[in-house]
Amino acid sequence: MTQPHNTLPEGPILWADIGVNLTDKQFREDRNDVIDRARAAGVTWQLITGTSLDESRQAVTLASQHNDLFATAGLHPHSARFYSPEMEKELRELLKSPEVRAAGEMGLDFNRDFSPRPDQERAFEAQLALAAEAGLPVFLHERDAHERFLPILKAWRDQLKGAVVHCFTGSKRALFDYLDLDCHIGITGWVCDERRGKELATLVPNIPDNRLLLETDAPYLIPRDLPEPPVQKRRNEPCLLPWIGQRVATLREQEVTALAAITSDNAATLFSGR
């Protein structure tokens, strides 16, 4: 029997959060407290997301100061218009850092189109090439762009160590397309949203155990069904990952301890380094 999604189990359950924006300005004043709260909640492995050159540098620096923090390095599609040979050169060097366990966040976002779509595709392919060269998995962002995203990823997939579609909120067709490419799927607190997360909740049980990963995407996507308000109003934190895990376990009819072990092992394997 799985535990109902209204309380968390007692005891030492260890979790891995594969998507945390710890360099975000919302954590500027209490970042160390945020890290401590995560550890106290059993979140003993975190991957800090690099979404720009500056944030990738910061992520690497922060990860170097903690043995349970790691980093990605890349350029988010929102900023793809800024991709340049000079940036590529520095990203290539950052990807050599031992703290960096994935290239990205990279991909396509046709929902907001903050960068022109041709620029997004150009930056995406360039970063896939860097990941293949570095022997690293890719940390992927796709929103309302599945039709273009899939063939680009498919063309590179055999050259990549691994791939996770971060913060998956897509359709059943998209899910199975990514699983067919042997991608991991990152599930966030979106699944705890009774308004927007209904379709995702029906899809979560279809993800094979060995392809499931959990993430908060903190400080964004705070779970809407929390029984108590967070430390700071409307700010998500990695310490809330167990709440998301409890929801996912309930949907999949799995024991929470088993789900935590499975997803933590998946994170350790995918982001094991070179």
Task: Report domain extents, the chain.
Answer: 15-270
List, in order, residues 6 or more apart from 112 with CB less than 8 Å away: 78, 143
Structure tokens at 214: 């959990």
- Write the pLDDT tens digit of every residue in 50-93: 999 999 999 999 999 999 999 999 999 999 999 999 999 999 99
- Closest by CA to 192, choosing from 231, 244, 145, 242, is 244
In this prediction, residue 234 has a pLDDT band, given cuts at 50, 70 and 90, of confident
Please give the mean pLDDT across all residues of the chain: 94
Distance CA 175, CA 165 (A): 9
Instruction: Taking each helix axis as running N to C, give the angle between helix 146-156 and helix 117-134, from 0 to 180 degrees, rounded to the nearest 10.
Output: 30
Residues 252, 246 contacting (CB under 8 angstroms): no
Q: Is 152 exposed, middle or buried (0-12, 13-18, 19+ CB in 10 A)?
A: middle
In this prediction, residue 10 has a pLDDT band, given cuts at 50, 70 and 90, of low
pTM (2 d.p.): 0.94
Q: Can you tell me whether residue 222 is helix, strand or coil?
A: coil
In this prediction, residue 4 has a pLDDT band, given cuts at 50, 70 and 90, of low
Question: 167 in the Ramachandran plot: left (φ > 0), alpha (ψ -120 to 50) or beta?
Answer: left
15-270 belongs to which CATH class? alpha beta
Distance CA 132, CA 129 (A): 5
pLDDT beyond 50 at 36: yes
pLDDT the model gives residue 168 = 98
- Percent of the chain whose pLDDT exceeds 90: 90
Q: Is 218 exposed, middle or buried (0-12, 13-18, 19+ CB in 10 A)?
A: buried
- Write the pLDDT tens digit of every residue in 254-268: 999 999 999 999 999
CB neighbours of residue 245 within 10 Å: 27
36-59 burial, b at 16+ Cβ within 10 Å, e below that, comes to ebbeebbbebbbbbbbbbebbbbb
pLDDT the model gives residue 194 = 87
pLDDT beyond 50 at 186: yes
Residues 213, 270 contacting (CB under 8 angstroms): yes
Please compute the mean of the pLDDT values over residues 165-188 and round it to a whole number: 98
Distance CA 74, CA 266 (A): 22
Please compute the mean of the pLDDT values over residues 10-20 and round it to a whole number: 87
- Write the pLDDT tens digit of every residue in 113-135: 999 999 999 999 999 999 999 99
Please compute the mean of the pLDDT values over residues 214-227 and round it to a whole number: 94
Please compute the mean of the pLDDT values over residues 173-184 and round it to a whole number: 98
pLDDT the model gives residue 1 = 47
